[in-house]
Chain A
Amino acid sequence: RKEVEQDPGPFNVPEGATVAFNCTYSNSASQSFFWYRQDCRKEPKLLMSVYSSGNEDGRFTAQLNRASQYISLLIRDSKLSDSATYLCVVNGLYNNNDMRFGAGTRLTVKP
């Protein structure tokens, strides 16, 4: 099993759609989880942290399921500007200094 695994997509959805991504991780002792967004030919930027109780930021909702070792990202009412690659990041796999990125899920929102 890969350390951090994501469905690479691509996900092609119409504007206004709801789309969900999952990410699985291998180390049950992992402590912190993030979703980053990377636009084409740009650097990754933090989208949101993922907390144990789940958290929401506008149209974005992140969930953590420790028992099944996965995190999810839900995007409601997709906008054209949401088109990007979404990177799942898990740290604490080996120690607190360690952050591991998934390969990313590509989302394209179409008019």
Chain B
Amino acid sequence: DTAVSQTPKYLVTQMGNDKSIKCEQNLGHDTMYWYKQDSKKFLKIMFSYNNKELIINETVPNRFSPKSPDKAHLNLHINSLELGDSAVYFCASSQDVGLETQYFGPGTRLLVL
């Protein structure tokens, strides 16, 4: 029954590694998002996809690459992980772009050592 799910929930890895976080929504929504919440709890949008098309690409390092194989999935791949990438990454979805309630996944807690 989970509406927006993310895997893994926890990810501990070494600097320089490449890792992926997966997100799936079963709400039939057209739009999906990735957010980063840092240690100060500030939630910042990274990417947004609508019908598999990238519509928001905030200023994030190009080590971060989102991929949307279909409307229900939005994965985040991170190359050459750095200490500063440690944060909680939330996936979210909404029916359409903009003026819509967003539903968040449980978050992936990434710790880079």
Contacts and interface: CB of A to CB of B under 8 A. Distances in A.
Nearest to B107: A43
B56 A98 contact: yes
A99 B104 contact: no
A95 B56 CA distance: 10
B60 interface: no
Most chain A CB within 10 A, of B31, B33, B99, B107, is at B99
Chain B interface secondary structure, helix, strand, loop or mixed? strand
Report, as a range, how many residues of chain A touch the other chain: 20 to 34
Interface string A67-88: 0000000000000000001010
Nearest to B55: A97
Contact of A96 (B42, B98, B107): B98
Interface residues of B, number: 24
Contacts of B56: 97-98
Contacts, number: 56
Interface string B22-49: 0000000001010100001111110010
B90 A99 contact: no
Given A44-B90, A97-B48, A31 B99 contact: yes
B106 A43 contact: yes
Interface string A95-107: 1111111011000
Contacts of A42: 106-107
A43 B45 contact: no
A49 interface: yes
Contacts of A101: 35, 42-45
A45 B103 CA distance: 7
A101 B37 CA distance: 10
Interface of A: 31-32, 34, 42-46, 49, 85, 87, 91-92, 95-101, 103-104
